[in-house]
Chain A
Amino acid sequence: MNVGRAMSIGCVVPQRVHFTAPLVLKSGAVLPAFDLRYETYGTLNAAKSNAILVCHALSGHHHVAGYYAGQPDNIGWWDNIIGPGRPLDTERFFIVGVNNLGGCHGSTGPADINPATGQHWGADFPVVTVEDWVETQARLADHLGIEAWAAVIGGSLGGMQALQWTLSFPDRVRHSLVIASAAKLSAENIAFNEIARQAILSDPDFHGGNYYVHGTRPLNGLRLARMLGHITYLSDDQMAEKFGRRQRPGAGSYSFDVEFEIESYLRYQGDKFAGLFDANTYLRMTRALDYFDPALAYDGQLTAALASARASFLVVAFSTDWRFSPFRSREIVHALVHNGQPVAYAESSCPHGHDSFLMDDAYYHAVVASYLQRIIL
């Protein structure tokens, strides 16, 4: 990677595709049709062998890199890893970002109108799974003429999709990059998700998920959910360094106003997120996390579950990440080694906890760049 010339992809334009073939979800529910919102960066080569799919995590979307015309501050959520000369080098690869089904950034989701009723989907929008997303992403690949991805990459919930791709479509993904992820959530992790959901479900403005028709939004619940989640994405050391016990000006009022900087930060993050995100989407994204467990159908044997994968793997974890700890990544690695499947594993000491996967950490980015450079197109 030539770091010297690494730069942003620049101005990008989102696209949309409408699928009319019915989609049978893992739950058994059927969506008669759906839209996916996506973006692409770089150029698909003639052999269509240089495509990389970027899967997003809980709060992500299709706007992965670059910025929109007239909105220079609206930068993609993973811009630091994508662009000319960056680890996901757009001079070599054709990169696709997609908003997942059930999302709230342009792909069909609970806030949209259900054509069958003329009303917002709301509570009627089905619970979607990682397997369902991979199915819809395969349809997007078909639409783009991509027979097989050179690589599928994602962090956290995105890493679960990168892993599931190798199981759902073993012949359609050559490399899987699973970052800060896990083959299944722990009980503790599901517990955090449950508290986040309860915050939303118990908000009086939630109205059983049909808040759109009431002209309300469960902002308070969503805000609490995000505040809780945010704590789990950071490391204790990093919070101590960033905020410590520093107090706000005028603190010491012996009240429950904002006294400490960390409170101010969490409230700001919660408010910002609640203003932009849909609560029904948040519920479904966390549920997709909970349900993901490819070993379940194999008596809990991850080795058996992964045996059908034909991809090569790069697994990356961060030593300060306690929400998706390195131990969980090593479970994937050890299962692949047991099976004799190709895998490399790197563990970065980036201090930013689970959020490290979004950071411009030199070692982590060098590992991803080194891995992708050896892919033969």
Chain B
Amino acid sequence: MLFTTERADFDLIASWVKPDERVLDLGCGDGSLLKRLIAERGAHGYGIEREEAGVQAAIAKGINVIQGDLEQGLSGFDDGTFNHVVLSRTLQTVRHTERLLSEMLRVGREAVVSFPNFAYWKNRMAVMRGRMPVSEDLPYEWFDTPNLRFFTLLDFESLCKKMQLVIRERQVLDEQGKLITEEPNFLGSLAVYRLGR
């Protein structure tokens, strides 16, 4: 479990949340993002986390954390409950990709999804050298990674098209967390999307 207190995508996500909006953070870990959204943006936040250590740490922070497994879907949450449903660096670990994306846009009006771009040039270089990439945004060895799916900006956008999801905004960051505007699928290490129906 990653207990990073700051992630590059958090700044972007925070900038998209307005006061009093309701946010659901899927795979919220120790609740760092939610704590920030509550403190800085005045949001009403809930999180879902599977791991005991994350749940306990989030409870200790006073976060509204709900223990559960995203693979089970979001049944029980009513349609349109949230303004934003966030999935930060977690989509690549999920088996039921399409179902989860659909569920996010059922319970929320907007889905915010960030994921590591497998087509980032350093990742391409690693594969060219014959090795699986290990980087800031793909920090695991092939044998201990929780990541199940490896995909690129183009792959993801193709899925969005197939699922008829509307891409409202896309921001792409390099390994240092700086915004990338040109050749995003080559120069971008982490992608952050706002999706709607």
Contact = CB atoms under 8 A, between A and B. Distances in A.
A367 B62 CA distance: 11
Interface in A329-368: 330-331, 333-334, 337-338, 340, 342-347, 363, 366-367
Interface in B45-74: 46, 52, 55-68
A371 B58 CA distance: 9
Nearest to A370: B60
Contacts of B135: none
A374 B66 contact: no
A373 interface: yes
Contacts, number: 57
Contacts of B52: 346, 363
Contacts of B55: 344, 346, 367
Nearest to A337: B46
B59 A371 contact: yes
At the interface, is chain A mostly helix, strand, loop or mixed? helix
Nearest to B48: A345
Contacts of B41: none
Given A337-B46, A363-B56, A366-B56, A344 B77 contact: no
B18 to A, nearest CB: 15
A347 B59 CA distance: 13
Given A330-B76, A337-B81, A344 B65 contact: yes
A314 interface: yes
Contact of A314 (B46, B57, B59, B78): B59
A7 to B, nearest CB: 22
Contact of A346 (B22, B44, B59, B62): B59
A338 B78 contact: yes
Contacts of A334: 76-78
B105 to A, nearest CB: 17
Contact of B62 (A345, A363, A374): A374
Contacts of A367: 55-56, 59
A373 B64 CA distance: 15
Contacts of B67: 345-347
A258 B52 CA distance: 42
Given A366-B56, A367-B56, A344 B76 contact: no
Interface in A214-273: none
A344 B78 contact: no
Contact of A373 (B60, B68, B81): B60
Nearest to B65: A344
A333 B81 contact: no
A338 B81 contact: yes
Contact of B44 (A330, A331, A340): A340
A333 B66 contact: yes
A344 B60 contact: no
Nearest to A371: B59
Contacts of B58: 344
Nearest to B46: A337
Nearest to B62: A374
A352 to B, nearest CB: 17
Contact of A374 (B44, B46, B60, B64): B60
A250 B136 CA distance: 67
A315 to B, nearest CB: 9
B59 A337 contact: no
A287 B137 CA distance: 57
Interface in A178-222: none
A339 to B, nearest CB: 10
A373 B63 CA distance: 13
Given A340-B22, A344-B59, A347-B67, 14 more contacts: A314-B59, A330-B68, A333-B66, A337-B46, A338-B81, A343-B66, A344-B64, A345-B66, A367-B55, A367-B56, A370-B60, A371-B59, A371-B60, A374-B60
Interface of A: 314, 330-331, 333-334, 337-338, 340, 342-347, 363, 366-367, 370-371, 373-374
22 contacts: A330-B68, A330-B76, A334-B77, A337-B64, A337-B66, A337-B77, A338-B81, A340-B22, A340-B44, A342-B64, A343-B64, A343-B66, A344-B59, A344-B63, A345-B65, A346-B55, A346-B59, A363-B52, A367-B55, A370-B57, A370-B60, A374-B62
Q: Which 4 A-B pairs have the closest CB atoms?
A: A370-B60, A334-B76, A345-B66, A370-B59
